[in-house]
Each structure stands twice: as structure tokens, then as C-alpha cells.
């Protein structure tokens, strides 16, 4: 029984969509989440800056005693996870756009990918695309502005609706039948995106797959907390946007503790 926490970091509140999947699948695990909202969005930064911020977040999570770290940010995963794995002995779980399941599920062979500039321009994204998307047309869209609106609790704003129309309409013209959400912030927009897409187009994100992979690695490394009668405790650290976090996880478990702290 290993009660050390699972660590998470993201450029802000978006990785809470991953955190929710992991804590749902592994309710007995303690967690620590770092929301680096002060530096959001990572997707518009250069690779060196993304690595620097990822190292800072990792150092803090290791200092706090985490046994495994989930890089709950597509941009940080695609730009920094190889560096992190080479630098630290702790296991890392990354999150990438769910290209593989989309390539399997598409019938029209037209897939839309909504992501940040940092993710779409990364070497890892290019390698994954080349591996799984042969014979498939992808419509990539850099969704500038969505992360900032989510961070500032503007999901229901008119500006959000306008941006989603702008990004999704060209994909509908291209007859996509799958839309891959390539940023951990975007699952918080699924209801709004669904109204734009209609009922037939599949929306695919990586949350559940990341949770299952986390469970798998915990078991392989023999570092899981297997005390079934234990209810995990959760610390969420942020350097800003506490009210947005409270709204996004208001339906989550009551053991969650929110702490505002510059880390």
C-alpha cells in the first residue's frame, strides 16, 4: 500500500478534466494538482520555455512527495515529456491528442483536430500523425483564445461561441466524422461543441485512456494504494484562478482542498 500522491500539472485548469477521470477510476489514491494558470497558455510559448515550466512543476511535485506524475497538458507532453523522462527517475504519464482511436473510428476518413499551436507544431505530434493517419485527411485547427476564455470562467460567453463557430465550421464543410480534442482544457467545452457539431460526429478526448494507463503503470511499478476502504485526499495548488477551479470541480469529491499559493 503506497499512500504517496499522484502528481498532476497543467498550464492551468484544463488538466482537471484528466484529474477527474483519474480520481474517478482510482478513488483510493491521494492526488496533488498544480495549475500554472499564471503562465497559461503554454501552447503559444516556445519549446525551451515549455520545458523550463515543466521542470519547475515537476520539481515542485517531487518536493511534495509524488510517486508518479501525469503531465495533464498536451502541449507540455508533446514538447517536454521526453526531456522529463530523461532527467527524472519518477514515472511520467503523458497526454496526446487521441489520434489513434480517431483513425480507427472514422468512416469518412476525415478527422478534425482542435489543438494549440504548441501541440500541432511539435515533433511528437508529427510522429504520431505519420504513424496513424495514412490515407486519412486531417483538418488541423489552432484554437487560439479558447484556453484563455476557459481560464477566465468565460465558457458561456458570446466570445466563446463565436470562436467555436469560427474553428468548427470549416471542419463541417470538410465532412469530418470525428473531432479530436487536442488540449486538456477542451473537454470542458464538450456541451457547447456538441451543439455546433450535431449528434452524429464523434468527439474524442484522452481522459479515460490516461486514467487507465495510470492504473496500469501504478500496478506494474507496484506503487498503487490498494486500500479499498481508503478515500483519497486531493490538494489543488494554483497561482491564480481559484474561482474558476471551484466552478469546474464543484461536483467532485468533498475531500478536495483548494490552496492558493505561488509555486
- Residue 255, pLDDT score: 64
When pLDDT is cut at 50, 70 and 90, the band that residue 246 belongs to is confident
Q: Which three cell numbers stand for residue 140?
A: 488541423
When pLDDT is cut at 50, 70 and 90, the band that residue 249 belongs to is confident
Query: Is the Cβ–Cβ distance between 93 and 159 less than 8 Å?
Result: no
Task: Assess if CATH 3.40.50.2300 describes domain 99-204.
Answer: no
Query: Is the Cβ–Cβ distance between 196 and 114 less than 8 Å?
Result: no
Helix (H) or strand (E) holding 180: strand 178-182
For the chain, the domains span 6-95+207-260, 99-204
Q: Please list the active-site residues.
A: 73, 183
CA separation for the pair 123, 60 (Å, rounded): 27
Q: What is the mean pLDDT of the chain?
A: 93
On the question of pLDDT at 254 being above 90, the answer is no
- Residue 253, pLDDT score: 54
Query: What is the DSSP track for 92-119?
Result: EE-----HHHHHHH-SSSEEEEEE-HHH
pLDDT tens for each residue of 7-59: 999 999 999 999 999 999 999 999 999 999 999 999 999 999 999 999 999 99
Same fold, 6-95+207-260 and 99-204: yes
pLDDT tens for each residue of 120-137: 999 888 888 888 888 999
Q: Which residue has the higher pLDDT, 71 or 256?
A: 71
pLDDT tens for each residue of 164-212: 999 999 999 999 999 999 999 999 999 999 999 999 999 999 999 999 9
Q: What is the mean pLDDT of residues 80-96?
A: 96
Query: Is the Cβ–Cβ distance between 211 and 21 less than 8 Å?
Result: yes
- Residue 256, pLDDT score: 67
Q: Which of 142, 21, 19, 22 is nearest to 73 (CA)?
A: 19
pTM: 0.92
| CATH number attached to the domain at 6-95+207-260 | 3.40.50.1860
Amino acid at each position: 500500500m503506497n499512500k504517496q500522491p499522484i502528481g498532476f500539472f497543467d498550464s492551468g485548469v484544463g488538466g482537471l478534466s484528466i484529474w477527474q477521470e483519474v480520481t474517478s477510476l482510482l478513488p483510493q489514491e491521494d492526488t496533488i494538482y498544480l495549475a500554472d494558470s499564471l503562465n497559461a497558455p503554454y501552447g503559444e510559448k516556445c519549446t525551451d520555455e515549455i520545458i523550463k515550466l515543466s521542470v519547475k512543476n515537476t520539481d515542485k511535485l517531487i518536493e511534495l512527495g509524488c510517486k508518479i506524475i501525469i503531465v495533464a497538458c498536451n502541449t507540455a507532453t508533446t514538447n517536454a515529456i521526453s526531456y522529463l523522462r530523461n532527467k527524472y527517475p519518477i514515472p511520467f504519464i503523458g497526454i496526446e491528442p487521441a489520434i489513434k482511436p480517431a483513425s480507427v473510428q472514422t468512416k469518412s476518413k476525415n478527422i478534425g483536430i482542435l489543438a494549440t499551436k504548441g501541440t500541432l507544431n511539435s515533433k511528437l505530434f508529427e510522429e504520431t500523425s505519420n504513424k496513424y493517419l495514412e490515407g486519412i485527411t486531417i483538418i488541423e485547427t489552432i484554437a487560439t483564445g479558447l484556453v484563455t476564455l476557459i481560464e477566465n470562467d468565460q465558457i458561456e460567453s458570446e466570445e466563446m461561441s463565436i470562436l467555436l463557430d469560427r474553428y468548427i465550421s470549416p471542419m463541417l464543410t470538410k465532412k469530418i466524422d470525428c473531432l479530436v480534442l487536442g488540449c486538456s482544457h477542451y473537454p470542458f467545452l464538450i456541451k457547447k461543441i456538441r451543439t455546433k457539431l450535431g449528434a452524429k460526429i464523434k468527439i474524442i478526448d484522452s481522459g479515460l485512456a490516461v486514467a487507465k494507463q495510470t492504473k496500469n503503470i501504478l500496478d506494474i511499478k507496484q506503487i498503487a494504494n490498494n486500500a479499498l476502504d481508503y478515500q483519497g485526499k486531493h490538494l489543488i495548488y494554483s497561482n491564480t484562478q481559484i474561482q474558476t477551479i471551484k466552478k469546474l470541480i464543484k461536483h467532485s469529491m468533498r475531500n478536495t482542498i483548494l490552496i492558493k499559493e505561488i509555486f
